[in-house]
Structure 1
Amino acid sequence: MSTPSLTAAVPTSRREKHVSAYAELSQQVLAAGLLRRRHGYYVTTILLTVAAFAAMWAGVVAVGNSWWVLLLAAALAVVRAQFGFLGHDTAHRQVFASHTWNAWTSRVLSCGFAGLSYGWWMGKHNKHHNAPNQEGRDPDIQSGVLAFTPDQARRRTGAAGWFARHQGWAFFPLLTLEGVALHVNSIQALLVKRDIRYRWLELTVIALRVGGFFAVLLLLLPVGKAAAFAGVELGLFGVLLGGSFAPNHKGMPIVPASMKVDFLRRQVLMSRNIRGGRLTDFMMGGLNYQIEHHLFPSMPRPNLKLVQPMVREHCAKHGVLYTETSLAGSYSIVVRYLNRVGLGERDPFTCPLVQLYRG
């Protein structure tokens, strides 16, 4: 869906109708009280996560020089991913009414526990929310190791071109490197981007967090086991975070840079929900309710599943395609999509926006 001819503006009357459709939903959600803060939930969750983090390290000390310590490495990765999700929630102002309280809580959780830069991530993630899957605006679909659009794939030749044609199969192995990439990107951004507030403070905290991690491991374990522990923890951490974000947008419509789309359709049509129960909610940090989160970014995480029936009904009423699938199904879509993009197919999916504008 990258043909310029599909970028015609929506007539004013239709645009106004679309804008009022979101306003109607927003009023319903506000009246239902689903945007109210859930202080008790978040305070309890943060305290339990900190306690679990401390317990994991106490377990490492207790187990000592044994390969069983790798089980604790895996458990620590799960806990650290939860800090990433909590940092995400506080960055979106879901926890406190005060922007300052949210920002500093997110810095502590993101930099101090997850080892990731709040300032770098906020700038990147805000751009993603403003224009999900829009070429030239969403940093999450910029060309990198993977090609996310046919145009990106066509520009690659030689070994890079061969990789792009098979990149879907490399998706899961690459996720194991996502944890390292997040640390590297955080540090690089803090060193280079002078507009990030408190960048030296964040850089110091992250350096202490990452350096302390390896120092403690080398103090407690032989070099071989310390390296294995770090590999398991960093690899699984990357899989958990990357595996929670990727299914939500990859394989959904890619919007041309010049296309103007109303807020409701922009957020719903570019997002995909993941079905599941409490375990899915926990392991994905609530990001499995991606449509609801994009429509109401400041809504507390536990309220997303409560608002879902309301959003689904509203989308059906206004003829907006609401996409939801299983976790396995979403990964299958992502792999197929990346491979088809790598083959340079002009239209690797059926885009509902094309049908909307043609209609």
Structure 2
Amino acid sequence: MWSSVGNAPPVGPRKPTEFAELARRVKRAGLFERRRGYYIARIAVNLAVLAGACVLFVLIGDSWWQLFTAVLFAITFTQLAFVGHDAGHRQIFRSKLANDVIGYAHGGIVGMSYGWWVGKHNRHHANPNHEDDDPDIHIPMFAFTQGQSTVKRGFLRWMAKYQAILFFPVLLLEGLNLHWTGLRAVWRGEVALRKLEAGLLIAHLGCYLALVFVVLSPPIAVVFIAVHQGLFGLYMGCAFAPNHKGMPTLSADDSLDFLRKQVLTARNVRGGPWVDAVLGGLNYQIEHHLFPTMPRPNLRSAQIMVQQFCAEHGISYSQCGLLRSYGHVLRYLHELGAPLRAERL
């Protein structure tokens, strides 16, 4: 037994963790460097498209052709939300304040509470696919674990039985859910800058409804809002759904290091630049979870390094095409509903 400091065993240098080793490789490659030019161009293009869509909306006037502009608005709102997501992760600037300015501004444009969303999303990043701690797998209308499916009752239990069929139709409501949940959080004072967010959300709602109902007759206005908000929710849901749904879920009994917790619970979507643009860089979900502050345009380079590192250390790395990723999600949801469908009526 070592009884004194003089007899203590020599302390060697601490062995670096696998994640630390990976992070050093990525840092040496310069992939944490900010890409301000990219984001300035991205924001400028998004705002130009939004302005153009507004002008087109006014020029077309009270016509059912406005349903096509509703599609354009849905796409533009989602692209703006992607920038807000990046700001929430401090990918654009090193300064928290500068990122928050961009984040709150984009949240106001699309009608979402930036403060509420950042808090929820950070909890997801800390515990991805954890059945107790990840808010993204606690959605009343779906069951993402066997335990969730068995405790549902009434209409929600019926939905869990057929959730694979209902998944995409329900996503049409996700836009309204994001608006309402953020508004409720602001009303309850669950955000830091309550007055600022309340002002932004009221301004968004007032301008949006005024523009729609001044230019359009009530029937067309209602349908326009339904199409715009429905497709906005569907697009947002389709961008986030392939990332973790159908991947292993964790519980309090699981003990994984940071590297494995982030890699094993996430799925990448393979594709070229068009997939990067359509999914806002979320197709590199593994790299994004490992390095959430990494600027979006650097994720493609990081992906090659992370996949190689995982192969060297025998860590499973999940990646597939976009349509196949949706197939995995639907298959997983269908399997979770099977025991409920087998119940005797």
TM-score between both structures, scaled by the size of structure 1: 0.88
Return 195-204 or 47-56, whichever deviates more. Answer: 195-204
In structure 2, the partner of 1:276 is: 271
Q: Give 1:76's aligned residue.
A: 73
- How far apart are residue 148 of structure 1 and its match? 1.3
Q: Which has the higher contact order (CA 8 A, sep 6+)?
A: 1
Alignment of 1:107 onto 2:109: no
Equivalent residues in 2 for 1:94-173 (5 A)? Answer: 94-110=91-107, 112-173=108-169
Identify the residue that residue 235 of structure 1 maps to in structure 2.
230
**Does 2:88 align with 1:91?**
yes
| 2:203 paired residue among 208, 225, 228 | 208
Report the alpha carbon displacement of residue 68 of structure 1 after superposing the two structures with TM: 1.6
Q: Deviations over 1:79-129 (max 9, x none)?
A: 11011000000110000111111112101111x211111110011000100
Deviation at 1:64, TM superposition (A): 1.1
Which whole-Å deviations, capped at 9, do the CAs of 1:119-166 have from their partners, x for residues lacking one?
Answer: 100110001000100121111111411111111111123443222111
* Aligned mates of 1:218, 1:83 — CA distance in 2: 23
Q: Give the drift of 1:307.
A: 1.1
Give how far 1:66 is off. 1.9
Whether the 8 Å CA contact 2:88–2:99 is kept in 1: the answer is yes
| Paired-residue identity, % | 44
TM-score (norm. length: structure 2): 0.92
Instruction: Tell me if 1:32 matches 2:3.
Output: no
CA contact (8 A) 2:67 2:227 kept: yes
Kindly provide the amino acid, as one letter, of the partner of residue 156 in structure 1. K
Q: Following superposition of structure 1 onto structure 2, how do residues 230-309 of structure 1 map, counting pairs within 5 Å?
A: 230-309=225-304
Report the 3-state secondary structure (helix = DSSP H, G, I; strand = E; otherwise coil) of the residue aligned with 1:259.
coil
Partner residue, 1:43:
40
Distance 2:109 2:233 in 1: 15
Structure 1 contact 293–304 (Cα < 8 Å) conserved: yes
Cα distance, 1:44 vs structure 2: 1.0
Question: In 2, Cα distance between the equivalents of 1:136 and 1:119?
Answer: 22
Distance verdict in 2 for CA 1:170–1:299, change over 3 Å: same
- Matched AA of 2:140: G
Q: Which runs of 4+ in 1 moved over 4 A?
A: none
Structure 1 CA distance for aligned equivalents of residues 272 and 58 of structure 2: 34
For residues 276-305 of structure 1, the C-alpha deviation after alignment (integer angstroms, 9 at most, x for no partner) is 122211111000010010011000000001
2:141, 2:159 within 8 Å by CA — same for their partners in 1?
no
CA shift digits 1:313-348 (9 cap, x unpaired): 000000011101111111111111112112349xxx
What is the Cα deviation at residue 189 of structure 1?
A: 1.0
Residue segments in structure 2 that go unaligned for 5+ positions in a row: 1-13, 341-345
1:187 aligns with 2:183: yes
* Kept in 1: contact 2:140–2:156 (CA 8 A): no
Question: How far apart are the structure 2 equivalents of 1:21 and 1:265?
Answer: 10
Aligned length: 327
How far has the Cα of 1:195 moved from its partner?
Answer: 4.5
Q: CA RMSD for the aligned pairs?
A: 1.4
Ranges in structure 1 where 5+ consecutive residues have no aligned partner: 1-15, 346-359
Contact 1:150/1:343 (8 A) holds in 2: no
Instruction: Between 158-167 and 130-139, report the one with greater CA deviation.
Output: 158-167
Q: What secondary structure does 1:343 align onto?
A: helix
After superposition, the C-alpha distances for 1:167-191 in whole angstroms (9 at most, x for unaligned) are 1110000111100010000001111
Q: Deviations over 1:173-214 (max 9, x none)?
A: 01111000100000011112x352111210221122023211
